[in-house]
């Protein structure tokens, strides 16, 4: 990871919260809108206030009547499914028996980035409550979009993603591409292809006042073809709007349009 000295040296000028808001306006984010955001702070150069500066710009862009959503995924899952890294089978039951109970206020997120961690500390933030595939939201639609989020409906139509599509949400990618686009997992749930598969996962939850390891069914997910899906979407005339921001780029598109295209594309092209 580059030092801050390297980040300063590699930046022509500081990125301000106003710059963030301006870039979002250029890609179609409007006051009162609903957006789902993925962000890599390190791709933007030197930002005034760091992650806080980006969050301030996001809040300014949607205003008090707008709603912002970010994924809040964790590493809470059954150890038998772990690959990066795997753990010995003799450890599996120990992990299931001793993993601290999931708590959205305490359980760490996994590789979600500094902007999401800053956003999740805002007053009034709402967590969807899913131990592995959760979301956090801020704004007037937060409660409606986040709940319910049942274990077996991680990223499908009955999850927050499904309600976001119905709410006319825009996808906003700040310094990242569609490989990081959680909305495309909704298309995976909707699509059909020969090797589509499900597995049993689990999490430590409070049930009837007691800690229990609870198992549930979840879809095998994959992101390898997400960039190809996005390229095909744009080639077919799907709108993607882009604007520069510091050393990076902000990309935005209509969530419903992309998910509907991706559902058809995956059904036709996944083997």
Are residues 35 and 164 in contact, defined by beta-carbon separation less than 8 angstroms? Answer: no
Q: Domain tally for the chain?
A: 1
Pairing of the two strands 198-207 and 126-127: unpaired
Integer Cα distance of 19 and 150 in angstroms: 38
Q: Give the distance, in angstroms, between the CA of residue 3 and the centroid of all CA atoms in the same chain.
A: 26
pLDDT of residue 1: 47
For 260, the domain range is 4-269
pLDDT of residue 2: 54
Q: What pTM did the predictor assign?
A: 0.96
Integer Cα distance of 60 and 35 in angstroms: 13
Q: What is the pLDDT of residues 240-265, one digit of tens each?
A: 999 999 999 999 999 999 999 999 99
Q: Could you give the C-alpha distances from 177 to 54, 70, 95, in angstroms and in order?
A: 17, 15, 34
Integer Cα distance of 165 and 54 in angstroms: 24
The token pair at 214 is 């609870």
* Nearest partner of 239 among 263, 256, 224, judged by Cα: 256
Integer Cα distance of 108 and 117 in angstroms: 9
Integer Cα distance of 167 and 189 in angstroms: 19
What are the residue ranges in the chain where pLDDT is below 50?
Answer: 1
């Amino acid at each position: 990871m580059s030092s801050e000295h390297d980040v300063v040296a590699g930046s022509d000028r500081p990125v301000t919260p106003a710059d963030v808001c301006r870039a979002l306006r250029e890609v179609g984010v409007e006051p009162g809108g609903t957006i789902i955001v993925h962000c890599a702070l390190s791709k933007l150069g030197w930002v005034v206030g760091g992650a806080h500066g980006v969050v301030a710009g996001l809040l300014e862009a949607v205003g008090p009547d707008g709603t912002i959503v970010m994924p809040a995924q964790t590493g809470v899952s059954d150890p038998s499914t772990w690959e990066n890294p795997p753990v010995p089978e003799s450890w599996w039951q120990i992990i299931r028996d001793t993993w601290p109970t999931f708590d959205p206020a305490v359980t760490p997120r996994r590789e979600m980035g500094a902007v999401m961690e800053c956003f999740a500390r805002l007053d009034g933030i709402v967590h969807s409550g899913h131990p592995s595939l959760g979301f956090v939201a801020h704004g007037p639609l937060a409660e409606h979009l986040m709940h319910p989020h049942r274990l077996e409906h991680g990223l499908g139509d009955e999850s927050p993603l499904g309600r976001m599509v119905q709410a006319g949400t825009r996808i906003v990618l700040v310094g990242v591409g569609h490989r990081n686009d959680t909305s495309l997992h909704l298309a995976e749930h909707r699509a059909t292809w020969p090797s589509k598969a499900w597995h049993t996962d689990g999490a430590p939850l409070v049930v009837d006042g007691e800690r229990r390891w609870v198992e549930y069914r979840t879809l095998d997910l994959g992101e390898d073809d997400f960039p190809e899906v996005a390229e095909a979407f744009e080639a077919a005339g799907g709108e993607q709007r882009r604007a520069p921001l510091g050393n990076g780029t902000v990309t935005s598109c209509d969530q419903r349009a992309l998910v509907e295209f991706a559902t058809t594309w995956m059904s036709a092209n996944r083997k």
